[in-house]
Amino acid sequence: MEKDDENRAENDSGEKGPASSVILSSASEGLEKVADNALNAALRASVVELSRSPSGDGLVDWSFSRASFAATGGATAAIALGVWSGLTLWLTGWTVINALIGLAMGIWALKSPRKRVAWAGIGLNLLMILGSVIWWR
């Protein structure tokens, strides 16, 4: 019986229990504190990084302006409208409207990082405008 009393210790609530359970509970509490501190440090670091973004919105570090980011889609649209105008050129003369919109999108896309695609779209749409004028003359 004396051995059992020696192996038992008081835990935080004042109850008697095995000494190993007291050690394990204090170890788990220590790990929880370490994990909480690490999580708080990571959150604080991310908040500091977000507050340093050049755009001031605190969400994304944009390396170029949002307007040029949107104009990147204009380059793709210019190519798509040029191809569509080429496929439907022989059907109707109204295809020239698609080519004109594609030309405008390509000119807008010159502000984007995808300038080569924009120039290809401009050239393709100019070719389709010329083809439409010649075909439906």
Q: Please work out, in degrees rounded to the nearest 5, the angle formed at the alpha carbon of residue 21 by the alpha carbons of 16 and 25.
A: 110
60 inside domain:
no
pLDDT per residue as tens digits for the range 45-66:
655 555 555 555 555 545 556 6
Cα four-point dihedral sign 105, 107, 111, 114 = positive
Q: Looking at the predicted structure, is the pLDDT value of residue 126 above 80?
A: yes
Q: Cα separations (Å) of 123 from 64, 103, 117, 120?
A: 26, 8, 10, 5
Domain end (from 51, 75, 91) = 51
List the structure tokens of 99: 């080519």
Per-residue model confidence (pLDDT) at position 69 = 76
Distance between CA atoms of residues 72 and 78, nearest Å: 10
110 inside domain:
yes
Q: What's the one-letter identity of residue 34?
A: V
Same domain membership, residue 80 and residue 112: yes
58 inside domain:
no
Same domain membership, residue 75 and residue 34: no
Number of structural domains the chain divides into: 2
Distance between CA atoms of residues 68 and 113, nearest Å: 7
Distance between CA atoms of residues 57 and 74, nearest Å: 25
Same domain membership, residue 88 and residue 38: no
User: Domain of 42?
Assistant: 2-51
Q: Looking at the predicted structure, is the pLDDT value of residue 38 above 50?
A: yes
Looking at per-residue pLDDT, the higher value among 99 and 22 belongs to 99
32 inside domain:
yes
Same domain membership, residue 76 and residue 40: no
Same domain membership, residue 87 and residue 36: no
pLDDT per residue as tens digits for the range 51-110:
555 555 555 545 556 667 778 899 999 999 999 999 999 898 899 999 999 999 999 999
Q: What's the one-letter identity of residue 38?
A: A
